[in-house]
């Protein structure tokens, strides 16, 4: 890694020129940093010396690049063996560092899959998100929970597979509601044999692989055989499954016939903003779509934005066998090589001009155009609301980041604090934060004390991570769910931390605690209210309701986790699978704690060493 040329001007072209004599023609990645050592830009190069040389000469640089060069005070370099390695490293660094002048993919959520879990004699079908550690077959990705739930619903209607947990399965004595509504075949109480259930699992997996015609032919033959054998009840059940499968195929009529596996990626840019639509095609089925709004400056080339999106999107995801793009990349062969290296097999990148694949791209482009138009309209509306908020509360500037706080607890137990963030693009859910209330000296139900703890922790962290307030993480306005007492308590702690310049408004329920009669409290100013039909009032209510929803959800999750906790959670080496095995075998954690060593060794999945660990834990800590 290279840094530190000879003495040179603080920033700009001459500063960059000072690095040229230390570089050669190797491929690699470069970073441009400002005077405070913040990363401005990360780029890759086939030839580092040639690429940096372009930045060292004033010329026809786009305004964004010219600004970046003027701010550059130092550079860092890392050479690689190949340009493909440089591309992979570049995208990882961009995701990690989030440089100001790079195109950034802002929404980086993971996508759910369907898991046919096979750790049990009767396989369970369920939604799965995260690492693929559980034994079974995974199908996906799906664009979101809605797409997964629709497909699971179809599978249950047609194949009647169980979705209950193994623990529920083992403890049932009669069929559940899923059986009553014909969504499960009742394996838990012996209403279907293991062999017949395995056949339906196999058919469900064939469905997820797109082989629906073969399934329908098999079911039709089975129905005819049952009818010929005068097994009319079985024939009727098979008829109902064929009917359900036909309905599913009708709903899926838009699915591509000649594209078994691909991601369709379409990009539309307008007014300095961009929208990317991604459609997931698996097993000839459309498994949903998702839109993204990458951060751009507006002067990027469309191929640059597309290449940045593809690189960052697949930096943490497994690419399919084919990418169908609306626009080509500057280095499509290089990107294909990088993705193939990651996947371990060939990945095709195409920009189709005709046929089914071109129609898929056109459909995705239409969605991208419409989504961006809606986004721009919402952004304009949000801008008007933020301006109205500024005028209503006499703020020094239009807020770009609003933080809203609330607490949730039941008589002081399982107390949590919650923070949501809103700005020009609406709610920024990636910035939401939850706080487990730690104060041992707090009186149960002390809302003032809880709010003071939350704000203290929040601003102490900001003061540590961004003391100069340059990273965009500091709020321009605080909204507190509470009245004069809450505002006074929070103001006290903010003054003590030296951040009392941040505007703050407390939202208190007004007369009869009715929505629309809220009162607003500000330090040193009289209580105020807004007109009942004021759009700003609705905007504030929406933010207050959102933080309340987030706080309640966080509290419920914490309470549920506490209710479901057992002493087994603290035993070294006992994870979810062993915990379930022990509870099924003994019936309760208390019985596990009382069990002798021989009984513990008799549990499936518990080795002699593990049984000794469990026994020692309870008898040494009992």
| Per-residue pLDDT reduced to its tens digit, 96-111 | 888 989 999 877 677 8
Name the strand (E) or helix (H) holding 604: none
Cα 322 to Cα 314: distance, rounded to the nearest angstrom: 13
Residue 604 Cα to chain centre, angstroms: 36
The confidence score (pLDDT) of residue 7 equals 47
Cα 565 to Cα 559: distance, rounded to the nearest angstrom: 10
The confidence score (pLDDT) of residue 277 equals 95
Cα 432 to Cα 581: distance, rounded to the nearest angstrom: 36
The encoded tokens of residue 246 equal 């036909």
CATH dotted code for 261-373 = 3.30.420.340
pTM: 0.72
The confidence score (pLDDT) of residue 533 equals 85
Domain with CATH 1.10.150.20 in the chain: 567-620
Domain with CATH 3.30.420.340 in the chain: 261-373, 402-562
Structural Rg of the chain based on CA atoms = 30
Which positions ≥6 away from 320 have C-beta within 8 Å? 261, 262, 263, 280, 281, 282, 347
Domain with CATH 3.40.1440.10 in the chain: 13-97
How many residues in the chain?
A: 622
Looking up tokens 């509470």 gives: 482
The confidence score (pLDDT) of residue 341 equals 85
Residue 15 Cα to chain centre, angstroms: 40
Assign domain 402-562 one CATH number from 3.30.110.30, 3.30.420.340, 3.90.1150.140, 3.30.300.160. Answer: 3.30.420.340
**Domain 13-97 sits in which CATH superfamily?**
GIY-YIG endonuclease (3.40.1440.10)
Burial tier of 249 (Cβ tally within 10 Å: 0-12, 13-18, 19+): middle
Instruction: Indicate left, alpha or beta for 381 from its phi (over 0: left) and psi (-120 to 50: alpha).
Output: alpha
Cα 124 to Cα 155: distance, rounded to the nearest angstrom: 12
The confidence score (pLDDT) of residue 172 equals 84
Cα 378 to Cα 381: distance, rounded to the nearest angstrom: 5
The encoded tokens of residue 170 equal 């083992």
The confidence score (pLDDT) of residue 509 equals 78
The encoded tokens of residue 482 equal 């509470």
Cα 88 to Cα 331: distance, rounded to the nearest angstrom: 13
The confidence score (pLDDT) of residue 48 equals 94
The confidence score (pLDDT) of residue 253 equals 43
Q: Please give the order of strands across the beta sheet that includes 113-117.
A: 124-128, 113-117, 136-139
The confidence score (pLDDT) of residue 234 equals 72
Query: Into which CATH architecture does domain 567-620 fall?
Result: Orthogonal Bundle (1.10)
Handedness of CA 56, 59, 65, 70 (dihedral sign): positive
The encoded tokens of residue 534 equal 């004021």
Closest to 369 (Cα-Cα) out of 273, 506, 252: 273
Give every residue of the chain whose pLDDT is below 70, as ranges: 1-11, 108, 244-255, 409-414, 439-446, 510-516, 558-566, 620-622
Burial tier of 26 (Cβ tally within 10 Å: 0-12, 13-18, 19+): middle
Q: How far is CA 221 from CA 216, 218, 227, 235, 258, in A?
A: 9, 5, 10, 10, 27
Burial tier of 531 (Cβ tally within 10 Å: 0-12, 13-18, 19+): exposed
């Amino acid at each position: 890694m290279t840094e530190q040329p000879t003495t040179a001007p603080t920033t700009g072209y001459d500063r960059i020129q000072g690095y040229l004599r230390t570089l050669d023609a190797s491929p690699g990645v470069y970073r441009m940093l400002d005077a405070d050592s913040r990363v401005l830009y990360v780029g890759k190069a086939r030839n580092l010396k040639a690429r940096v040389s372009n930045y060292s000469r004033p010329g026809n640089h786009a305004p964004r690049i010219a600004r970046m060069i003027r701010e550059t005070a130092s550079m860092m370099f890392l050479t690689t063996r190949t340009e493909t390695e440089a591309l992979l490293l570049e995208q990882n660094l961009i995701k990690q560092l989030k440089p100001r002048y790079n195109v950034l993919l802002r929404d980086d959520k993971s996508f759910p899959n369907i898991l046919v879990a096979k750790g049990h004699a009767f396989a369970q079908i369920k939604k799965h998100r995260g690492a693929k550690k559980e034994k079974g077959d995974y199908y996906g990705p799906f664009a979101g929970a809605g797409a997964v739930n629709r497909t699971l619903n179809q599978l249950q209607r047609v194949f009647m597979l169980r979705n209950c947990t193994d623990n529920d399965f083992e403890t049932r004595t009669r069929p559940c509601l899923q059986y009553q509504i014909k969504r499960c075949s009742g394996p838990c109480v012996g209403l279907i044999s293991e062999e017949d259930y395995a056949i339906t699992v196999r058919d469900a997996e064939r469905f997820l692989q797109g082989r629906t015609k073969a399934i329908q032919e098999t079911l039709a033959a089975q129905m005819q055989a049952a009818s010929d054998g005068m097994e009319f009840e079985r024939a009727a059940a098979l008829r109902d499954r064929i009917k359900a499968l036909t309905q599913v195929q009708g709903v899926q009529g838009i699915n591509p016939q000649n594209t078994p596996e691909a991601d369709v990626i379409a990009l539309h840019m307008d007014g300095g903003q961009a929208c990317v639509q991604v459609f997931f095609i698996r097993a000839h089925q459309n498994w949903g779509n998702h839109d993204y709004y990458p951060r751009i400056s507006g002067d990027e080339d469309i191929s640059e934005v597309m290449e940045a999106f593809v690189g960052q999107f697949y930096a943490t995801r497994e690419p399919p066998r084919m990418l169908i793009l609306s626009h080509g990349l500057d280095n499509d062969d290089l990107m294909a090589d990088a993705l193939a290296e990651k996947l371990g097999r060939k990945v095709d990148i195409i920009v189709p001009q005709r046929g089914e694949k071109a129609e898929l791209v056109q459909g995705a482009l239409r969605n991208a155009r419409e989504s961006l138009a809606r986004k721009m309209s919402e952004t304009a509306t949000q801008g008007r609301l933020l301006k109205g908020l500024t005028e209503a509360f006499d703020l020094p500037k239009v807020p770009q980041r609003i933080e809203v706080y609330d607490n949730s607890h039941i008589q002081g137990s399982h107390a949590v604090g919650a923070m949501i963030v809103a700005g020009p693009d609406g709610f920024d859910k990636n910035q939401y934060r939850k706080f487990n209330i730690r104060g041992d000296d707090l009186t149960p139900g002390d809302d003032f004390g809880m709010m003071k703890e939350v704000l203290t922790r929040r601003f102490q962290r900001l003061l540590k991570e961004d003391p100069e307030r340059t990273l965009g993480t500091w709020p321009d306005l605080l909204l507190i769910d509470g009245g004069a007492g809450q505002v006074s308590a929070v103001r006290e702690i903010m003054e003590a931390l030296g951040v009392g310049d941040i505007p703050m408004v407390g939202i208190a329920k007004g007369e009869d605690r009715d929505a629309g009669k809220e009162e607003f409290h500000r330090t040193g100013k009289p209580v105020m209210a807004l007109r009942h039909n004021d759009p700003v009032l609705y905007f504030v209510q929406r933010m207050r309701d959102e933080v309340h929803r987030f706080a309640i959800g966080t509290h419920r999750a914490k309470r549920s986790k506490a209710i479901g906790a057992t002493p087994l959670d603290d035993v070294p080496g006992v994870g979810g699978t062993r915990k379930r095995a022990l509870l099924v075998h003994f019936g309760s954690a208390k019985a596990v704690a009382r069990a002798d060593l021989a009984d513990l060794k008799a549990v499936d999945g518990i080795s002699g060493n593990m049984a000794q660990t469990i026994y020692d834990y309870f008898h040494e800590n009992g």
